[in-house]
């Protein structure tokens, strides 16, 4: 059983901590030291604690072994450590298993110990192929943060960011034809979906969590990048579709909906808007209702892309511009040089291999909105315009 299947069962074995035995007290203390510094002295202290007499009759563990902990059960004798193929790895996993058994899964020290171990022992690499066992541990840690911690913590964001970075660099290390891609696809889908759940958790009490809005925006950006890269690991998709994503366990409609509820700029990801072959992705999320009028740093996705075209004097990304225009982006908006997108599109058409039929996208609503924006402040418009028009002008 892999970590995704294990967590999908949502067991209710969270545990309630009773009075600690002396042995358990020592195991907690020595495991904390061992996870931080795996030295001869810490191993010796751990062995002494482990070999202390067990008080009472030990209960048999009937639950499925956790793949995050290498699918191991709690060791009964120290000879299991001595006979392990990898003594250090076995010992570390036993520390996690025993700490979770003593403290109960919801306890913050359970996830803190895993996080600090991954961080201290450099198990957050982005420059080498991912170890399958470390992926499972990251998946489990992210699950714990989502289920038991406040939404959008820095720790959640770090684990999420590092996993996405690993996925983005993965193609450099492993040939496409390897079966391992199927495993990465499954775990990437897990990370994406738990990111959606975390955004929904944040939205439920947005006012209370507003001090974490920057983390929220980062998670959306990482989720967008992860979603885009799923295409590389997918079964040779010729085109993005909701059905293809659903087949591998990704609910893209859910992602679009929560981004809209949070008024988050889903189409503003730098990675997304600099890759021409993501044209069909833009079309897909737009068809699901993605907000392409939302402004970031004062610019809509189309205006930001046009600003880049001017700076680079290049039409390499013209297909992305065309896609953003085609899904209904406003063209009567100013760019950094104060020129309207409408004018810049006509100039770009002179060099473009596939010109955009600009006249087809001229809308009275767009022109009128521009006049209103020039004439009134956002504060004034917020008081007099209905929500659908405020959304159209990006307020």
Chain segment 256-275, per-residue pLDDT in tens: 999 888 887 776 555 554 45
* pLDDT number for residue 175: 54
Least confident of 166-180, 185-199, 213-227, 334-348: 166-180
88-134 pLDDT, tens digit each: 999 999 999 999 999 999 999 999 999 888 877 655 545 555 566 77
* pLDDT number for residue 247: 80
pTM: 0.80
Bridge-partner residues for 66, per DSSP? Answer: 72
Under the banding of pLDDT at 50, 70 and 90, the label for residue 157 is confident
If you average pLDDT over residues 139-155, what whole number do you get? Answer: 90
Residue 148, pLDDT above cutoff 80: yes
If you average pLDDT over residues 61-87, what whole number do you get? Answer: 89
Under the banding of pLDDT at 50, 70 and 90, the label for residue 85 is very high
What is the SS3 string spanning the chain?
CCHHHHHHCCCCCCCCCCCCCHHHHHHHHHHHHHHHCCCHHHHHHHHHHHCCCCCCCCCCCCCCCEHHHCCECCCCCCHHHHCCCCHHHHHHHHHHHHHHHHHCCCCHHHHHHHHHHHHHCCCCCCCCCCCHHHHHHHHHHHHHHHHHCCCCCHHHHHHHHHHHHHHHHHCCCCCCCCCHHHHHHHHHHHHHHHHHHHHHHHHHCCCCCHHHHHHHHHHHHHHHHHHHHHHHHCCCCCCCCHHHHHHCCCCHHHHHHHHHHCCCCHHHCCCHHHCHHHHHHHHHHHHCCCCCCCCECCECHHHHHHHHHHHHCCCCCHHHHHHHHHCCCCCCCECCCCCEHHHHHHHHHCCCCCCCCHHHHCCHHHHHHHHHHHHCCHHHHHHHCCHHHHHHCCC
* pLDDT number for residue 15: 53
Least confident of 148-152, 323-327, 348-352: 348-352
Write down the mean pLDDT value for the chain: 81
Least confident of 86-90, 164-168, 283-287, 349-353: 164-168
CB atoms inside a 10 Å sphere around CB 284: 21
* pLDDT number for residue 172: 58
CB 284 within 8 A of CB 329: no
* pLDDT number for residue 200: 93
**Would the CA dihedral through 55, 59, 63, 64 be positive or negative?**
positive
Ranges of each domain in the chain: 1-122
Residue 50, pLDDT above cutoff 70: yes
Under the banding of pLDDT at 50, 70 and 90, the label for residue 186 is confident
Give percent of the chain above pLDDT 90: 35
Owner of token pair 């070999």: 51
Give percent of the chain above pLDDT 70: 79
Which residue would you say has higher pLDDT here, 295 or 180?
295
If you average pLDDT over residues 169-176, what whole number do you get? Answer: 58
């Amino acid at each position: 059983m892999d970590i995704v299947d294990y967590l999908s069962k949502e067991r209710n074995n969270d545990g309630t901590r009773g009075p600690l035995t002396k042995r358990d007290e020592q195991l907690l203390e020595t495991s904390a030291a061992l996870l931080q510094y795996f030295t001869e002295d810490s191993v010796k202290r751990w062995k002494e604690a482990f070999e202390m007499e067990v008080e009472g009759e030990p209960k048999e563990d009937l639950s499925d072994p956790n793949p995050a902990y290498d699918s191991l059960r709690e060791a009964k004798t120290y000879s299991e450590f001595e006979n392990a193929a990898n003594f250090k790895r076995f010992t570390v996993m036993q520390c996690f298993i025993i700490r979770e058994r003593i403290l109960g899964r919801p306890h913050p020290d359970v996830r803190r110990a895993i996080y600090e171990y991954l961080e201290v022992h450099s198990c957050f690499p982005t420059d080498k192929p991912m170890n399958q066992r470390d992926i499972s541990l990251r998946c489990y840690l992210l699950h714990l943060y989502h289920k038991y911690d406040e939404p959008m913590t820095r720790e959640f964001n770090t684990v999420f960011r590092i996993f996405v970075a690993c996925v983005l660099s993965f193609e450099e290390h492993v040939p496409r034809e390897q079966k391992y891609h199927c495993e990465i696809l499954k775990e990437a889908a897990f990370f994406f979906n738990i990111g959606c759940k975390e955004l929904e958790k944040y939205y439920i009490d947005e006012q209370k969590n507003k001090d974490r809005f920057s983390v929220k925006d980062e998670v959306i950006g990482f989720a967008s990048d992860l979603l885009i890269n799923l295409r590389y690991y997918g079964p040779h998709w010729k085109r993005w579709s909701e059905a293809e994503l659903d087949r591998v366990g990704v609910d893209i409609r859910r992602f679009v909906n929560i981004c809209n509820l949070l008024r988050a700029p889903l189409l503003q990801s730098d990675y997304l808007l600099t890759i021409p072959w993501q044209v069909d992705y833009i079309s897909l999320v737009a068809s699901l209702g993605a907000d392409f009028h939302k402004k970031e740093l004062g610019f809509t996705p189309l205006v930001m892309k046009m600003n880049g075209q001017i700076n680079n004097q290049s039409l390499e990304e013209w297909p992305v511009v065309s896609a953003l225009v085609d899904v209904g982006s406003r063209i009567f908006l100013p760019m950094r040089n104060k020129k309207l997108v409408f004018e810049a599109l006509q100039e770009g058409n002179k060099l473009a291999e596939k010109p955009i039929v600009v006249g087809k996208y001229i809308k009275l609503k767009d022109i009128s909105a521009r006049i209103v924006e020039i004439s009134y402040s956002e504060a004034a418009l917020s008081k007099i315009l209905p929500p659908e028009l405020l959304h159209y002008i990006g307020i």
